[in-house]
Chain A
Amino acid sequence: MIRHICAITCIACFLLLLNVYGEEDITPEGLIIQGKQFIETGINNWNEQDLLQGRALFERILSQDEENYLYNYYLGYADYRLTYFYEEKERISQYLEDGIEHLTRSIELKDDFSESHALLGSLYGSKISIKPLLGMTLGPKSGQEIARAIELNPENPRAYLLDGISKLHTPAIWGGGVDRAIKSLLKAISLFDSIPAPDSLMPDWGHDEAYVWLGNCHMEKEDYKSAKEQFEKALEINPDNGWVKNELLKVVEEKLKESQM
């Protein structure tokens, strides 16, 4: 017990030291990791403040070096997350536009960075959902950016994840549909499972989400048993995933009960 108190006291001191000196000594690398954590917590808890905190950190890092492709990527990534958080079209559009601007800039600075292409393609797709009449022009652009991401790095699991999400939301007639989405998500999962964890500064999100979206695909096909399995796998990877814990599992269990009755 005393050992525990002592350990906690030491950690408290250490954190206090970080707080005191951190702001001068902290590196952009450290802030990126901190920003990523804020975003992750924000998604898990569906918390606006954490998401905005993460975005604010990325923005401050970028203000130090606007020509850095990775900083632009992370600000675009924070915008991408915030587009899912809001419901008002105007707010979503503002984050979409900002995200597209930063990801485009990231690509201008480093054209062969697969992650930026994948996320940019996804944001184009989201823009169509806000303004469907843009589908004719942005649809091909969205697909093209994701295809480019895969071409640049065929082992980028997030490119397949975003491809899968995009296909799930695209009618089959325009090249989407559940079956095509499942194919992409399975590929994403196989890559997440097989490739080693990247450098801590590089994007590493999405492993649990691949299972979540695969589960959503099964929900779409009314295969609730498989959907539940995928949601449970997502929780194994990320036990804090609030969307699965608080919503999806409950819905799928209700559906399973209904189907058994």
Chain B
Amino acid sequence: MAMNRILIIGILISTFCSVLSGSNSDAKAIVRGIVLDTEGNTLFGANVYIKGRYEGAMSDENGKFLFETNFEGECILVATYVGYKVYENSIHISKNRTLELKVTLRKDVVEMKGIVVTASSFTSGEEERVTLTPLEIVTTPGAAADVCWAIKTFPGVSQVEEGAGLFVRGGEVIETKFILDGAEISHPYRYESPTGGFFGTFSPFLLKGIYFSSGGFSSEYGDALSSVLAMQSLGMPSSRSINLGVGLAAFSTMIRLPIVREKFGLSFSANKSNTEYLFKLNRSQQNFTRYPSSWDVNLNLIYKFSKTAQLKFFLFGESDEVGVEVGNPTYRSIYNGETSNRFYNIQYKQLFGEKLYITSNICHNQFDTQNRLNVLDIKQSDRSYQFKLSGEYTVNYAISFLIGTQHFYNLVNINGRIPQDEDDLSPDAPYDDIETNYESYRHALLLETRLNIANRLFLTEGARLDFESISEKLNFDPRISAVYKISEFNSFKFAFGIYHQYPAPSYYDETIGNPQLTSMRAYHYILGYEFDNDDVLFRLEGYYKDYENLLLEDSLVNYTNDGYGYGKGVDIFLKKSFWEINSRISYSYLIARRHYHEFTELTSPDFDITHNLTVVLDYSPIPYFGISTCYRYATGKPYTPAPGEYNSNRVADYHKLDIDLSYLHSFFERNLTVFYVGFSNITGRINIFDYLYSPDWSERIPVKSSFGKSIYFGISVSL
């Protein structure tokens, strides 16, 4: 009986509920529809709901969705799907009505953070689509953990001689601009020489990212005819770390410390190198009175004073020296060189309201050097100050603007004595005493627009105005770069630009130069194709560079701007892994001709290296053990065999094979120890880079590589 009563109550409640349910359902509106992508495919799992309310539904396997709502009136319908842009649309809901909707979602744009998409650019750093990782930079065999040496494995950079100098696409070494944290570096090499220097000033261990452009770079960079190497120093340390390294020629240490988490951190490094044991062990033919040695210290402080703003202080000091026997068939003398370089940079960055990104730099660079060889005894002291301010305004994912201003002040002091004939450095050669100062200002204004059209066409167009005080010349450089993606992995690239570079201050000297000189100019034309997926990166680029206003020696006024020339060629780059071997191959074909300096007609300059080939292979046969090998080939460098026959012969082709072995081991928690040994030039080939002739051209001696076979080893410990 009682049971029956419960049953009756249950049925009554059930009936009541059904009635209630039915009556309320009548008062509701129904929103239903379908979710599609831009290609008309249905999307399963999209979340469709009314903004500000909980009512909504998920699209089913056919992309359809349906939900009821008590809401009546105007509202915003939201649809989301991870990887797609959020859809928002205003709709009107009426009770007892069914609203039918078609929702189309668009793929989200992949933002290219920090780096402008351009032709001819290579990157390294933390971003996902870098060309080389920082580790690959450091471990390039034969690159001595040097940024410039590693950059030389990219196409477009010629193997002119064994040094760090970057000769890019038929351009001289001085035509590459170096930048660190937005500040220009006036002396980017250690052990400076006419072909650059033996190493880059900044170790890759101090760097977070690298952007290298072999041409067609944007208007952000000025006073450079050929290329740009822009480096970013280390960012905020995420955890405490101490690294110690000991090698055959160097001792290094680095400490990274987050003082206040995500707010204030420091990185400190100190390195000392002395190559005495390296040269002795490898039986170098060179005689040193002072083996090349250097030290450097770096302090990098970062203070984030808000979530979107930071200040970075980058302090760097470096000093190097060398004493080595040099000469030609008629004399042997000791060359002595000492250099010190100080670089202080304060960088400020702040993002305002997610749209406006302001960066600014104040930088001071102090460089002192002394070079002595027989009658040559010269001291040079450079002081430079620079200020930069730029703002990038991102309107939306498709449009952004960059506007900036740059100001430079340089004071160069040169004093000592120089030979009257620059090719005669013999002990009894006639010489002049000089004492001179060059002061110059340079001001620049730049404007750039970056467009993303339908995520297919990326356009960077801009221009810059440069003014320099000595030449009093105002330059206008328009530039454009386009990347057209024909599919997800395939794209075509095009770039055109005008580039100016002012001569070094000494060329304006009234005695040895010409105060009437103006800036040199180059036109870049680039066309390329790129295939890039996760497994393969392939690039093919053709280019033509037209040079005007190059410096040409003149018997009356020392120099004029009547020089000209061109560089043209093809660069190929392939990065791919196969059979667990990571490989990268660079090949460059180049034809460069110049009528400049002492040349009497259009001639191959020293850096006209027709073929350049670099093959780098990395393999790890067992865990924690790595083998890397690098083979370099280059056409022999042009040299002058007789007076007036400028660069009419070539030395023998260049070949070099390097192998590095490394082994990683962890002795305790948080420890990583790397043992490494590098075998350089294992075939023992003696490469010749030039010939030095006696004053009467009757005798010559070859300029050879420093080592035959050589070995280097060391250990790096992180604590």
Our verdict on whether A and B bind, yes or no, reads yes
Q: A: which residues have CB within 8 A of B?
A: 2-3, 5-6, 9-10, 12-13, 16-17, 19-21, 23-24, 26, 31, 48-49, 52-53, 55-56, 59-61, 63-64, 79, 82, 89-91, 94-95, 98, 108, 131, 133-134, 136-137, 140-141, 143-144, 148, 171-175, 180
Interface of A is mostly: helix
In the assembled complex, the CB of B503 is this many whole angstroms from the nearest CB of chain A, namely: 41
Complex: A171 Cα to B664 Cα, angstroms: 11
In the assembled complex, the CB of A23 is this many whole angstroms from the nearest CB of chain B, namely: 5
Q: Do B7 and A2 touch (CB < 8 A)? A: yes
Can you name the residue of chain A whose Cβ is closest to the Cβ of B307?
A108
Q: Assuming A10-B13, A56-B47, is B665 touching A136 (CB within 8 A)?
A: no
Q: B: which residues have CB within 8 A of A?
A: 3, 6-7, 10-11, 13-14, 16-18, 20-21, 24-25, 45, 47, 49, 51-56, 58, 68-70, 78, 80, 82-83, 126, 128, 130, 133-135, 238-239, 241, 261, 307, 534, 623-624, 664-666, 669-670, 672
Q: Do A98 and B239 touch (CB < 8 A)? A: no
Complex: A108 Cα to B307 Cα, angstroms: 9
Can you name the residue of chain B whose Cβ is closest to the Cβ of A13?
B17
Q: Assuming A98-B82, A173-B624, is B49 touching A60 (CB within 8 A)?
A: yes
Can you name the residue of chain A whose Cβ is closest to the Cβ of B130?
A133
Complex: A6 Cα to B672 Cα, angstroms: 68
Residues of B within 8 A of A61 (CB): 54
Residues of B within 8 A of A136 (CB): 133-135
In the assembled complex, the CB of A111 is this many whole angstroms from the nearest CB of chain B, namely: 9
Q: Do A56 and B18 touch (CB < 8 A)? A: no
Q: Do A64 and B666 touch (CB < 8 A)? A: no
Q: Do A52 and B45 touch (CB < 8 A)? A: yes
Q: B52: which of A10, A48, A63, A180 is its contact (CB, 8 Å)?
A: A63
The 7 A-B residue pairs whose C-beta atoms are closest, nearest first, are A94-B83, A56-B47, A52-B45, A9-B10, A13-B17, A6-B10, A173-B666
Query: What is the count of residue pairs linking A and B with beta-carbon distances less than 8 angstroms?
Result: 112
Can you name the residue of chain A whose Cβ is closest to the Cβ of B664?
A173
Q: Do B133 and A133 touch (CB < 8 A)? A: yes
Chain A to chain B contacts (Cβ below 8 Å), 23 pairs: A2-B3, A9-B10, A13-B13, A13-B16, A16-B18, A16-B21, A20-B20, A24-B70, A26-B54, A49-B45, A53-B58, A55-B47, A56-B47, A60-B47, A60-B54, A63-B49, A64-B52, A82-B82, A91-B83, A133-B133, A136-B133, A144-B239, A173-B624
Complex: A3 Cα to B241 Cα, angstroms: 69
Can you name the residue of chain A whose Cβ is closest to the Cβ of B258?
A144
Looking at A10, A13, A48, A64, the one whose CB has the most chain B CB atoms below 10 A away is A13
Q: A56: which of B25, B51, B56 is its contact (CB, 8 Å)?
A: B56
Residues of A within 8 A of B10 (CB): 5-6, 9-10, 13
Can you name the residue of chain B whose Cβ is closest to the Cβ of A57?
B54
Residues of A within 8 A of B47 (CB): 52, 55-56, 59-60
Complex: A12 Cα to B17 Cα, angstroms: 9
Q: A60: which of B6, B56, B238, B672 is its contact (CB, 8 Å)?
A: B56
Q: Do B134 and A59 touch (CB < 8 A)? A: no
In the assembled complex, the CB of A120 is this many whole angstroms from the nearest CB of chain B, namely: 12
In the assembled complex, the CB of A91 is this many whole angstroms from the nearest CB of chain B, namely: 7
Q: Do A79 and B13 touch (CB < 8 A)? A: no
Q: Do A140 and B128 touch (CB < 8 A)? A: no
Q: A5-B7, A63-B51 are in contact. List 20 more A-B contacts (CB 8 A).
A: A5-B10, A10-B10, A10-B13, A16-B17, A16-B21, A23-B55, A23-B68, A26-B54, A48-B45, A52-B45, A56-B58, A60-B49, A60-B54, A64-B52, A79-B82, A133-B130, A140-B241, A141-B238, A172-B666, A173-B672
Q: A174: which of B13, B70, B130, B672 is its contact (CB, 8 Å)?
A: B672
Q: Assuming A20-B24, A48-B45, A94-B83, is B128 touching A89 (CB within 8 A)?
A: no
